[in-house]
Structure formats: C-alpha cells, structure tokens
Amino acid sequence: MRQTILGANGQIGRELALSLNREFDCDIRLVSRKPQKVNATDELKSANLLDLAQTLAAVEDSEIVYLTAGLPMDTQLWVEQWPVIMGNVIQACKTHGAKLVYFDNTYMYPQTAASQREDAAFAPNGAKGRVRGEITQMLLDEMKAGRLEAMICRAPEFYGPGQPQSITNTTVIDNLAQGKKAKVFLRDDTKRSLIYTPDASRAMALLGNTPDAYGQTWHLPCDDNRLTYKEFITLAADIFKVSARYTVVKEWQLWLAGKFNPTIRDAGELLPRYRCDNLFISDKFKARFPDFKVTRFEQGLAEIAKERKLI
C-alpha cells in the first residue's frame, strides 16, 4: 500500500513520514518541489501542486494521500494559490481513487475565547482565514456529495523540535534557546492551546489508517493543561536553564513593524487570538483513541532542549 505526502519537506510532513514508517506497513512517497528522504526506503517525486498534470502524476498509484503543504505568510499568495492547490489535489485523488487526509489550521475560526470544537462555525478575521475556510468548504462539499473519501485533521498553533514555522517557536522558543528575551504578542496572561508537532503527525497517521475516521473533521490532540505565555516561558526557561526574560509586544508596535516587515503585516489578522484565551478542544479524538499518549508541555520542551543540546 502506497501512502503519499504532498508537501513533505515541512516539519509536519517530515514527522508524518517518520510516523508512517514506524507504525504502519506501507510504501511512502514524498512529494514536494525538491523532496528529501526522511526514511531510507522513501520514494521521492518532484511536483508543483499548482500544476494539475504534476499533481496527478504525484498521486498516481496512491491509496492514501496526505496534504500537508504550506505557503509563506503572504496574503496574496494564499488567495491566489490555495484554491488552485486544493482543486488540483481533489481532482487527482478523485481521478486515482485515493483517500485524502487534509492537514488544516484554525485561521477560519472566530478569534474569541469560545471553545473551539469540530462543528465551530467559520468566522474568519481576514483574507487568509477566508481562503482557508473556502478551500476547507470545497473539500467538505466533495465529502458530503460522496465524490471523495476524505477527512480533515485540524490543529491549532504548534511548537516542537526541528524548525516549525510557528509564532511560538520563532518568538519564544528560538529566542530563549539563544539566551535572548522571548517576545509575546499583546498579552502574557491568556491561556494558549498549542500542539506538539510530533503528536500532530502521529495522530494524523493514525487517523489516515483508521477506515471509520473518514468523512469527518478531527481536532488533533493537545495537552489540555493549557498554559499562559508567562507560564510557558517560565517552564521553558527552567528546562532550557536560561533566564525567563520576555517582552510583551503591544499592538501599536506590531502595527508599526508591519509597515516595514510584510510578514508581520500579513500575520496581523491573527492578532485577536492573542487577546483572549484560545480553547481548542480535542476531546473527540481522545475519546476515539484513548490509548494515544499526548505529549505534555514539560515533555515536549525537554525534547526540544535535548535536540538543541541545552541539557
């Protein structure tokens, strides 16, 4: 059985390849523009998912396809390219009779303190959230019509080893690991839901290989002992053996920085989530897979410290 990862060079794709190789008896194909082996037996295939013919060739002979691709934090790119990518992947999976497992984010959710469950209504705060909601709805429509066997695996902001492209890794973990001040957006006293990247990939591999999980949306499992950034930084600093120094970056400072830095400007629509508690609920997954071990924050941070030779 061949299982194919589209967007395999990212942190989620790489850890997914490790999980599939470790836990399941399957052939693994890694697809990206310049794919690199994760396991010795991986098959590599170069493809641009914006090109339908290349996407069709990448998916051919696959039983299960995982879409874990990402795009730079560029609003115009998202608006132009995400619908094309999702359309091509859906078409390729339908053409070849492959199942699709889509790794999704929470950008389309209301950025409020309300608990987020799989049935939460979409209420995006900006263009990136709108386009993510639109392509998710594209997939939901195909699933509802019975034209494609698929599932949606949704995760909140993540942290973890390697180089995850997340705000927490970039502004908190990387800075602390280098003995610098961490940076926190807007407030340090709101509860955060963060998922450990190896957990996200392990859970997605498990779901993809569970036949009755298809046709549904799943929130991937997080540590329910949610921490504020103040608590997270205190814990990380203790494990990293560094000072728990940090700065709370105010909204006007981010607005000013966005005038000169397009990445910060394009992340602006996500700022409301840092003003209030972020309560991402993954009870459905935990009830269905009670033996799945969710990594606690102290465990995840200790693994990061080992990787970076801090302990």
> In three state form, how does the secondary structure of the chain look?
CEEEEECCCCHHHHHHHHHHHHHCCCEEEEEECCCCCCCCCCEEEECCCCCHHHHHHHHCCCCEEEECCCCCCCHHHHHHHHHHHHHHHHHHHHHHCCEEEEEECCCCCCCCCCCECCCCCCCCCCHHHHHHHHHHHHHHHHHHCCCCCEEEEECCCEECCCCCCCHHHHHHHHHHHCCCCEEEECCCCCEECCEEHHHHHHHHHHHHCCHHHCCCEEECCCCCCCEEHHHHHHHHHHHHCCCCCEEEECHHHHHHHHCCCHHHHHCHHHHHHHCCCCCECCHHHHHHCCCCCCCCHHHHHHHHHHHCCCC
pLDDT digits (tens, 9 = 90+) for 192-232: 999 999 999 999 999 999 999 999 999 999 999 999 999 99
Q: Contact at 8 Å (CB) between 123 and 106?
A: no
Residues in the chain, total: 311
Q: Which of these, 66, 69, 93, lies nearest to 208 by C-alpha position?
A: 66
Torsion angle of C-alpha atoms 73, 74, 78, 79, degrees rounded to 10: 150
pLDDT digits (tens, 9 = 90+) for 228-239: 999 999 999 999
Q: Output the pLDDT for position 76.
A: 95
Q: Output the pLDDT for position 44.
A: 98
Q: Output the pLDDT for position 28.
A: 98
Residuewise pLDDT in 10s, the chain (311 residues): 999 999 999 999 999 999 999 999 999 999 999 999 999 999 999 999 999 999 999 999 999 999 999 999 899 999 999 999 999 999 999 999 999 999 999 999 999 999 999 999 999 999 999 999 999 999 999 999 999 999 999 999 999 999 888 999 999 999 999 999 999 999 999 999 999 999 999 999 999 999 999 999 999 999 999 999 999 999 999 999 999 999 999 998 888 988 888 888 888 898 899 999 999 999 999 999 999 999 999 999 999 999 999 98
